[in-house]
Every structure is written in structure tokens, then in C-alpha cells.
A and B are shown apart, each in its own frame.
Chain A
Amino acid sequence: MKNGTERRTELRTYAVGYLLALALTGAAFAAVVWPSFAAGTTLAIVLGLALVQAVVHFRCFLHITMQRASRHDLQLILFSTLIIVMMVGGTMVLLMNLRTRMM
């Protein structure tokens, strides 16, 4: 039965997403609770894991794929990411610059 297969695939996607999310979360917390790297490296690891986990959520829970059906959604998300990177990056650079100059 086609419906049944589809349903199983979908359930599997959620299950995979859940397990991956748990693993990535666990890894991030572990990296901080049992620190084995320099602070900067740990921060990079945590942020990297967060990025990967966000991708997992978008793929498994929010069903954003490279398929045609979600092409507009994907374009939208990528454009939003661009805007967010510009805004957050600009804000950080600018205000950090001001802070150093006012010290």
C-alpha cells in the first residue's frame, strides 16, 4: 500500500531527526561540561554543532529539501540567511569597533 510506505518514510524522517538532534545537543553540552579544548575552540565547536542541528531541524522537521516543491521556501530561507548574516555581522563589527575605540 503506497500510503503506508509514505507514512513509514515520514515517521522515519521524524525519528532520524529526533535522534540526530539529541546526539548533537548532547555533544554540545558535553563539550562545555567536560572541556577538553581552549575556550575559543569550544565556542566554535558549540556554534558549529548548533548550525548542523539547525540544518537537521529544517530538513527533518520542517521538510525543506532540494526538491522542486519546496524550492520557493528554500530560496526564501537562503535570502533570509543572507540578510541576517549582513545585519548580525554588521552590528557585531560596528559595536565592537565602537567599544574598542571608547575604551
Chain B
Amino acid sequence: MSKTATEIEQPDAEQDDTALFGFWIFLMSDAVIFALLFATYGTMTQATAGGPTAAAEFKLVPTFIETLLLLTSSATFGRASVAMKYDEPRRVLFFWLFVTLGLGLVFLGFEAKDFADMFADGAYPSRSGFLSAFFALVPLHGLHVVAGCFWLIVMIVQVRVIGLDRRVKLNLLRLGLFWHFLDVVWIAIFSVVYLGGHIA
């Protein structure tokens, strides 16, 4: 025999392609979940039951800062992907991954603060159908970011412990897709929920 199992186990480019396609399908399936929560939110904007309304509760300044944080984290993750693809020194990769993680965590901090303020205002999910729909939609995106951050930590550890073998690279590519996808969902959230809430 000529090759060991570990050598052959390294998937070739075609298998990478399959794996990424599979992940794209998952993302689209996830997109349907978000789309339906948006539709549900859209049909419940009037259901405030005499409680807090969108215009009163949604603050544009923190939303704008959160948006900038997420946009920037997408760009920094892109920078990390380039570092991985062109075999730049390991510390460059780590630097950009850590920056991305940091931005993600700060985003989560801001969002948690937003929710805490809303709770303090009496705007909690059990208050009305409208707030229920809001808290079903926006924190789900937040939970995705939490999952993304956790995954990022796992990947940083794997790059450190295992190095950049093909599977680690593949998983970083998938995480990249996930991260950029969350950005697209956030565009819809700030446009429909936050800006939309202030227009109406």
C-alpha cells in the first residue's frame, strides 16, 4: 500500500465543494426560519395591546453602532479568510480572528444592554403580541451570533492545536459563510424592525 488513511482522508477539492454546498443549503433553510419570523413580526406590529410601541422603545443610536460593529466584523473575517487562503503568517490569521471575535462579543454586549433597557421600561415579551414577535426574532439573531462566537473560539483553538489542515480550513470557510450570512440577516433586522419602527 502506498498511502495511509489519514493521507487519503484529507478531502480533495471536490469534496470541499460538496461540503460547502451542503452548508449553503443549511443557510438557506435557516433563512426560511428568519423570513417567517419577519413575516410574523410584520403581522403583529399593531398588536401592542396598549403596551410599549416600536417608536418609543427602539433606539437608533445603539442600533447604528451595533450595525457598524457587525459590518466591520464581516470585513475583518474576510481579512482573516484572505490570510488563511494565501498562507500568511499564523499571527496575522490569529489577529484578525481575535478582532472578529472581539467585535462579535461587543455587539452582543450592546444588544444585551438594549434588551435590558427595554425590560426596565416594561417592554418584555409577555407584555404584548408585538413584543413577543420582536423577542422571537431579534434575540434569535443574537443567539446565532453567540453560536458563531462559540464556533470561532473552537476554531481558534483548533488552528492552535491542530494547525491548518484541510478540515480546519474547511470549517473556517463554513464559519465565514455563517458569519457573513448573519450580517445579511442583520441588514433585514435594522431595516425592517428598527428603522421601520421609527417610520411608522
Q: Tell me the B residues contacting A by CB distance below 8 Å.
A: 21, 24-25, 28, 31-32, 35-36, 38-40, 42-43, 46, 60, 64, 67-68, 71-72, 74-75, 78-79, 82, 85-86, 177, 180-181, 183-184, 187-188, 190-192, 195-196, 198-200
Q: How far is the CB of B192 from chain A (nearest CB, A)?
A: 7
- In the complex, the answer to whether B74 meets A80 with C-beta atoms within 8 Å is no
- In the complex, the answer to whether A46 meets B195 with C-beta atoms within 8 Å is yes
7 example contacts (A-B, Cβ-Cβ < 8 A) are as follows A14-B82, A32-B60, A43-B199, A47-B192, A50-B187, A83-B32, A99-B46
Q: Tell me the A residues contacting B by CB distance below 8 Å.
A: 3, 6-7, 10-11, 14-15, 17-18, 21-22, 25, 28-29, 31-33, 35, 39, 42-43, 46-47, 49-50, 53-54, 57-58, 61-62, 72-73, 76-77, 80, 83-84, 87-88, 91-92, 95-96, 99
Q: How far is the CB of A40 from chain B (nearest CB, A)?
A: 9
The CA-CA distance from A49 to B190 in the complex, in Å, is 12
- In the complex, the answer to whether B39 meets A72 with C-beta atoms within 8 Å is no
Total A-B residue pairs with C-beta atoms closer than 8 Å?
116
With contacts A29-B64, A72-B21 known, is A80 near B200, CB below 8 A? no
Residues in B neighbouring A58, C-beta threshold 8 A: 184
With contacts A91-B39, A92-B39 known, is A54 near B188, CB below 8 A? yes
- Across the interface, name the chain B residue whose C-beta is closest to A95: B43
Chain A interface, DSSP helix/strand/loop, else mixed: helix
